[in-house]
Amino acid sequence: MNAPLRKAGLVMILLFGLLFAQLNWITVVKADEYRNDTRHNSFRLLQQDYERQRGNIVVDGQAVALSTATADTFRYLRGYPYGGLYAHTVGYRPVYGEVTGIEAIENDILNGSASVFTADRLLEMLTGKKSNGGNVLLTLSHSVQETAYNALMNNRSSSQTGAVVALDPTTGAVLAMVSTPTFDPNPLVAHDFDTATDEYDRLLADPGRPLLNRAVSERFPPGSTFKVIVAAAALQQGLSPDSVLPGGETYTAPQTTVPIQNAPGVVCPDEITLLDALRVSCNTAFSRYGVEQLGTETLKRVAREFGFETAPTFDRDDDNRMAVVASQTGPMAGPDGTPDPAALAQSCIGQRDVAMTPLQGALIAATIANDGVQMRPYLIDTIQDANLVPIWRATPSSLRRPVSSAVAGQLREMMNAVVRNGTGTNARIDGFEVGGKTGTAQNGDAPDHGWFIGYARTSSGQPVVAVAVLIQNAGPRGSAEATAIAGQVMRAAIATKGLG
């Protein structure tokens, strides 16, 4: 063969190679991007999303989201066997609309379009046989999730609206994430356009906002649970649990005329130890210490070190598809930017502009239980391919260390006293070290919110579970009911781990 023919042949081979590479780039690597491009969102493209059976989302070996074959235009129907129990976490994958929750975070895994499935997609081109999508195994415990949901829905306060978050303090694995009221995602994924959109519009118009995930996407005044942050700052400044603080029945901050008062029934003597101030939840002691000793900048710094002002996104959710919002301490300053003693005094008891998510409350408790190390929360334990072979496993990672091991130990001493013989006795569990902090948060003219954040450790000091419970607009029984719910959730976690 002469030289010109060889050159022409090499050019042809190169062109065919480039054409083949471009074809594979479009059909394999870029397929999901093009399919989800709203500029090309035709009925045919919607059908293509349902030509492959979507993978399962699994909790404790049971599918909580799965697809079944149908005889209609869309070959597979997404279903959620547990209705609203996992709705806010798992989310839903509608035919017409935006995918949410885990369904959104792992959409390319579940629909089989992730790059890890490139070989399967190439094989499909040769055989014409569609393989299933991958499976997502969650960290949630069915027992803990169900206990949290039932306890919240059957509490004896004036409200069943709220949230529960339970974490493994040593890893950050989420054991339960509940928000009420919830919703049934099944009508939202109906193949009939009118059925799905009517249900979505109904939920969107519901004044109870059932689509809102109160566990991570809404902030609430934390009330006295925020005193744990103030106590941490005091210990870092050199105080001990036995340090004596001025207390009293009322405290009027400088430049103000309205005094801070203790909650009804709280006895706070003129002098009280830091431990007892937390145990009985003495407003005057914490407000006075914050204004006269701590200061705004120090309080804000310590709150930031625990995670305030930064949304703690879940592992594998760097785009924050779970819509986690950051907890906030608020300005604590006047209109001219100068320190506002009244704002600081109120902030030290979790009021004014301080606002916290239940997830952040659980992270605070988990950090203290875990000797001062805060782990990154995660919901996804394992990713499997269509043949149930693991292709990814979670690796726990730390976020930050807000306090030293020594300070964490002092905080546990104080929080243990809250549960042992303070405001949190409803959370006691025989044979386990349980610590926590109750909170009653004023909410304008509406009924108070009820809070509890806490943890359980074995008698040998091994962290088992951390929990935050919020009952929105719970009224006077709020914190007591939140504490009782936390006790039930922690018992369920202990039993799940075979420790109780």
Q: Are strands 463-471 and 446-457 parallel, antiparallel or unpaired?
A: antiparallel
Residues paired with 356 in a beta bridge: 220
Strands, E, within 181-281: which ranges? 244-246, 250-251, 260-261, 271-273
SS3 call for 461: coil
Q: How many CB atoms lie within 10 A of CB 164?
A: 31
Alpha helix ranges (H) inside 254-308: 274-280, 283-289, 296-306
Place of tokens 């050019």: 11
Q: Are 322 and 303 in contact (CB under 8 A)?
A: no
In whole angstroms, give the CA distance from residue 104 to residue 106: 6
DSSP string, 41-97: --HHHHHHTTSSPPPPEEETTEEEEEEEE-SSSSSEEEE-TTGGGGHHHH----SSS
In whole angstroms, give the CA distance from residue 118 to residue 381: 23
In whole angstroms, give the CA distance from residue 283 to residue 353: 17
CA distances from 227 to 246, 279, 403, 437 (A): 16, 10, 15, 8
Beta strands across the sheet bearing 390-393: 76-79, 62-69, 57-59, 135-138, 380-384, 390-393
| Sign of the CA dihedral running 50, 59, 452, 235 | negative
What is the widest separation between alpha-carbon atoms in the chain?
Answer: 105
Q: Are strands 398-400 and 390-393 parallel, antiparallel or unpaired?
A: unpaired
Which residue type, as a one-letter code, is found at position 454? G
246 cis-preceded (ω within 30 degrees of 0): no
Q: Are 136 and 67 in contact (CB under 8 A)?
A: no
* Catalytic position from the list 141, 179, 217, 224: 224
Task: Please confirm, yes or no, whether 404 is among the known catalytic residues.
Answer: no
In whole angstroms, give the CA distance from residue 431 to residue 150: 25
Token couple for 229 = 């942050």
Catalytic residues: 224
